[in-house]
């Protein structure tokens, strides 16, 4: 075994490795994709390709001067850079639908995915080379700096060198024709490879440098939603007259009641829902505890999900009854549900899902075990509201509705509609006023901040704490049909509706309050 781990064999394997990284991935990309298919790399692809060329060049240094520490260390550093670029590149497209992406495929995988694979292979191969270095007296002397010699290339090494040199020159030619010389830079998406200099020079771009001006780790990432005591990210203007509407009927507070139910964690109740059939409230904490009550003081039925484990919910923000079952979402639109049981729940599902229950409720979504809901927490994925959190949620017998909290990335309020049976989105739109609803000049609905919602018949009632406004939204067209001025309350959030009242949660001096508001229709 040790006889194989000598300097001669090391140089043979190193030359082969150089050929594999320069001739196969770089060569195929340059010659086949570039000159035959006429595809050129985008800006990120160029970084990935240049990293591979540098790894190959460092291989020649190792062949020429031995595996010195600085060369080996440089290979690992470039491989780390290449893995980062490959994963970053892949991350731009992995969330899209199947087969969507940039450029051509090689063996069914797009080139930027190959980049990550190739650099992983570099790390593995270089790690194995260290075995050679450790077992060979000559190589170990090179590595530790005890020997300094210039080694001639073998015949095979010379072939690899000349082929690699030609490919590096060819890549330079391709880079020049595709991207030009500075201040011109790369392109995204990629452009066709052409040797028609008069025409291709008209496509050279400088916008790539704009990315440096807007560099930010938090780019395109929204601020946290406002949740009192957890994320105090917003100050509200609760004056209705400052909003987009001239006037509206003002709703009155009928009564204010203190809620005596204690949450499983935290003092503030996150959400309220009302079951008209059983004339019963459900109060839910920010940490997955739901309590059912008729008198606001005693909860004979309850269920506390295993909040810490499984898909992350963020903080529970909203609930809605569908029939006698309660659906719950977290701020990130991850959902779970409580199904009213007619017979005892499967003990394994109960163990996996809940920390404790009164025995009256099981997991709503757990009955159809599949990849995405195996633990009963489906993701309510959206398109327009992808970069927005949700504080408001409603449901009827067939559909669930989320209402997004607008932020600096998603500046519109988005309503997303999901079929309960499939947990998949059915439709989605920015809310807009109906043609019969007049707004002030140059005003829109973007700065309304919805903190509670409930479905009532054919409408979604959405309570915006900004401007203390109740928006009545058609649940099919998502147009705002009517607006009402809500009364001022203490830390109002969450909304429920019964046959004749609206309910809003409030919080003052450590006490949870339930505001009963007149229903306008």
The pLDDT, as a whole number, for residue 218 is: 61
**What's the pLDDT at 215?**
61
| Residue partners of 336: CB distance under 8 A and separation at least 6 | 288, 305, 313, 327, 328, 353, 363, 364, 365, 376, 377
Q: How much is the mean pLDDT over the chain?
A: 91
**Cβ atoms of residues 295 and 281 within 8 Å:** no
- Structure confidence at residue 3 (pLDDT): 63
**Residue 255: closest CA among 451, 470, 502:** 502
Alpha-carbon gap, residue 442 to 135, rounded angstroms? 77
> Are the CB atoms for 23 and 163 separated by under 8 Å?
yes
**Tens of pLDDT, residues 397-442:** 999 999 999 999 999 999 999 999 999 999 999 999 999 998 999 9
What is the reported pLDDT for 182?
Answer: 87
**Exposed, middle or buried: residue 137 (CB in 10 Å: 0-12, 13-18, 19+)?**
exposed
What is the reported pLDDT for 310? 83
Where residue 452 falls (left for φ over 0; alpha for ψ -120 to 50; beta otherwise) is beta
Q: State residue 214's pLDDT score.
A: 64
Tokens linked to 305: 């999900």
256 SS3 class = strand
* Distance set, CA 425 to CA 69, 177, 268, 319, 450 (Å): 55, 45, 31, 18, 20
Which pLDDT band holds residue 219 (cuts at 50, 70, 90)? low
Q: How many helices (H) and strands (E) does the chain have?
A: 10, 25
Q: Within 13 Å and on the Cβ side, how many CA atoms surround 34?
A: 24
pLDDT digits (tens, 9 = 90+) for 239-254: 999 999 998 999 999 9
The confidence score (pLDDT) of residue 374 equals 55
- Mean pLDDT value of segment 460-464: 98
In terms of Cα–Cα distance, which of 136, 121, 111 is closest to 76? 121
Is the pLDDT confidence value at 381 over 90? yes
Distance (Å, whole) CA 378 – CA 365:
8
Q: Which single residue is written with the structure tokens 């997955």? A: 288
State the pLDDT at residue 2.
Answer: 54
At residue 346 the predicted structure's pLDDT band, cuts being 50, 70 and 90, is confident
> Tell me, what's the pLDDT at 94?
81
pLDDT single digits (tens) 186-208: 887 888 889 999 999 999 988 87
Lowest mean pLDDT among 148-157, 262-271, 367-376: 367-376
Find where tokens 């503030």 sit: 268
> Residue 51 is encoded by which pair of tokens?
């990293």
Decide if pLDDT at 371 tops 60: no
Cα distance between residue 366 and residue 26, in whole Å = 49
Q: Is the pLDDT of residue 466 over 50?
A: yes
Position 19 pLDDT exceeds 70 = yes
Which tokens is 492 given?
A: 């109002």
Per-residue pLDDT of 273-283, as tens digits, reads 999 999 999 99
pTM equals 0.79
CA–CA separation, 347 vs 352, rounded Å?
Answer: 9
Tell me the average pLDDT across 107-111. Answer: 83
- Among 198, 179, 204, CA closest to 45: 179
Tens of pLDDT, residues 383-395: 999 999 999 999 9
Tokens of 76: 């690992």
What pLDDT does 16 receive? Answer: 94
Q: What value does the mean pLDDT take over residues 205-230?
A: 79
**47-92 pLDDT per residue, tens:** 999 999 999 999 999 999 999 999 999 999 999 999 999 998 988 8
pLDDT of residue 106 exceeding 90, the answer is no
Task: Quote the percentage of the chain above a pLDDT of 70.
Answer: 96
Given this model, what pLDDT does residue 24 score? 86
Segment 368-393 mean pLDDT: 80
């Amino acid at each position: 075994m040790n006889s194989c781990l000598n300097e001669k064999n090391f140089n043979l394997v190193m030359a082969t490795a150089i050929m594999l990284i320069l001739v196969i991935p770089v060569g195929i990309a340059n010659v086949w994709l570039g000159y035959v298919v006429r595809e050129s790399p985008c800006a990120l692809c160029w970084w990935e390709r240049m990293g591979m060329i540098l790894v190959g060049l460092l291989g020649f240094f190792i062949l020429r001067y031995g595996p010195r520490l600085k060369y080996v260390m440089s290979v690992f550093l470039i491989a780390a850079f290449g893995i980062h670029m490959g994963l970053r590149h892949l991350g731009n497209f992995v969330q899209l639908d199947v087969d969507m992406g940039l450029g051509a495929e090689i063996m069914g995988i797009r080139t930027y995915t190959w980049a990550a694979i190739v650099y992983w292979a570099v790390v593995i191969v270089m790690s194995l080379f260290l075995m050679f270095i450790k077992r060979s007296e000559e190589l170990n002397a090179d590595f530790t700096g005890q020997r300094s010699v210039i080694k001639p290339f073998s015949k095979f090494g010379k072939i690899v060198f000349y082929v690699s040199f030609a490919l590096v020159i060819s890549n330079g030619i391709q880079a020049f024709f595709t991207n030009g010389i500075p201040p011109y830079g790369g392109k995204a998406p990629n452009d066709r490879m052409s040797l028609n200099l008069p025409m291709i020079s008209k496509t050279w771009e400088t916008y790539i440098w704009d990315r440096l001006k807007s560099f930010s780790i938090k780019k395109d990432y929204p601020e946290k939603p406002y949740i009192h005591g957890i994320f105090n990210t917003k100050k509200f203007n609760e004056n209705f007259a400052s909003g987009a509407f001239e006037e509206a009927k003002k709703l009155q507070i009928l009564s204010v009641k203190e809620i005596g139910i204690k949450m499983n964690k935290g003092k503030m109740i996150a959400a309220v829902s009302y079951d008209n059939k059983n004339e019963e409230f459900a109060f839910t904490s920010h940490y997955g505890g739901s309590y059912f009550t008729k008198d606001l003081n005693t909860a004979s039925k309850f269920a506390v999900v295993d909040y810490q484990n499984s898909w992350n919910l963020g903080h529970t923000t909203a609930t809605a009854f569908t029939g006698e079952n309660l659906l719950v979402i977290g701020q990130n639109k991850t959902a779970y549900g409580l199904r009213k049981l007619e017979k005892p729940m499967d003990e394994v599902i109960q163990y996996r899902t809940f920390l404790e229950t009164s025995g009256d409720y099981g997991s709503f979504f757990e009955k159809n075990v599949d990849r995405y809901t195996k633990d009963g927490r489906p993701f309510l994925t959206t398109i327009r509201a992808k970069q927005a959190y949700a504080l408001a949620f409603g449901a009827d017998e067939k559909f669930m509705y989320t209402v997004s909290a607008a932020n600096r990335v998603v500046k519109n309020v988005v309503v997303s509609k999901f079929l309960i049976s499939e947990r998949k989105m059915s439709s989605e739109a920015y809310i807009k006023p109906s043609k019969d609803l007049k707004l002030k000049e140059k005003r829109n609905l973007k700065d309304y901040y919805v903190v509670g919602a409930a479905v009532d018949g054919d409408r979604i009632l959405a309570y915006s704490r900004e401007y203390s406004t109740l928006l009545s939204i058609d649940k099919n067209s998502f147009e705002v049909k009517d607006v009402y001025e809500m009364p001022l309350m203490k830390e109002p959030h969450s909304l429920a509706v019964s046959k004749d009242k609206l309910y809003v949660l409030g919080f003052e001096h450590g006490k949870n309050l339930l505001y009963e508001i007149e229903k306008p229709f």
